[in-house]
Amino acid sequence: MSKKWLAPILAAPVLLGGCAMMALGLERPDVAVSDVSVLQGGTLLEQRLRLTLRVSNPNDKDIAIDGLSFRFEVNDQEVARGLSNQRSVLPRLGETSVPVDVSASMVDLLRHAPKMLERGSGGKLAYRVRGDVVTQDYGRLPFDRRGEFSLESLAGKAPREGATRGQF
């Protein structure tokens, strides 16, 4: 087989998946971080976090979700990666919450400490969560969301079930 046909053959599944979304008139689901909890049991080099992701479906059709893969950044630095194989059905014009436990490098988290203490930041950190919603029928649907969270909320307000909650 000629090498000139290799790229189009490899690109076809990606293009067809995008075309299927457009042909069906579907919009991509929206993914936002609704909560961050610091879990008990961290180590010197690693801290466990629970991110609760809110997945919203703006479409008039249910979407069967097979899982999620994502990266979590703080102040433009990746601090955690997450995967979820939790299957669910995202209801039409509805939403669902997906809790995902991730490991974060303490070195990376401490690197942000000076920025956190800067005047004017108000104890807020910028975050970005980006990745893919993996679906049964439409393949991988990418998402990218930015926001901020309060340091004060992670510092020890009202632990519940082994976690310290964050506010968004």
What is the reported pLDDT for 164? 40
Domains for the chain: give ranges and CATH numbers. Answer: 3-157 (2.60.40.1820)
Torsion of CA 121, 30, 65, 127, to 10 degrees: -10
Q: Is 24 exposed, middle or buried (0-12, 13-18, 19+ CB in 10 A)?
A: exposed
What is the reported pLDDT for 43? 83
What is the reported pLDDT for 109? 74
What residues contact 39, with CB distance under 8 A and at least 6 apart?
47, 48, 49, 50, 101, 162, 163
CA–CA gap between residue 4 and residue 81 (Å, rounded): 36
CA–CA gap between residue 17 and residue 127 (Å, rounded): 29
**For each of the chain's 168 residues, which pLDDT tens digit applies?**
555 654 555 555 554 444 444 435 789 899 888 888 888 887 888 888 898 989 999 999 999 999 999 998 887 878 888 888 989 999 999 999 989 888 888 887 777 667 655 655 566 778 899 999 999 988 999 999 998 877 666 555 444 444 444 444
For the chain, what is the largest distance between any 2 Cα atoms, rounded to a whole number of angstroms? 63
CA–CA gap between residue 48 and residue 70 (Å, rounded): 16
Q: Is the pTM above the cut of 0.95?
A: no
Please report, as a single letter, which amino acid is at residue 92.
Answer: R
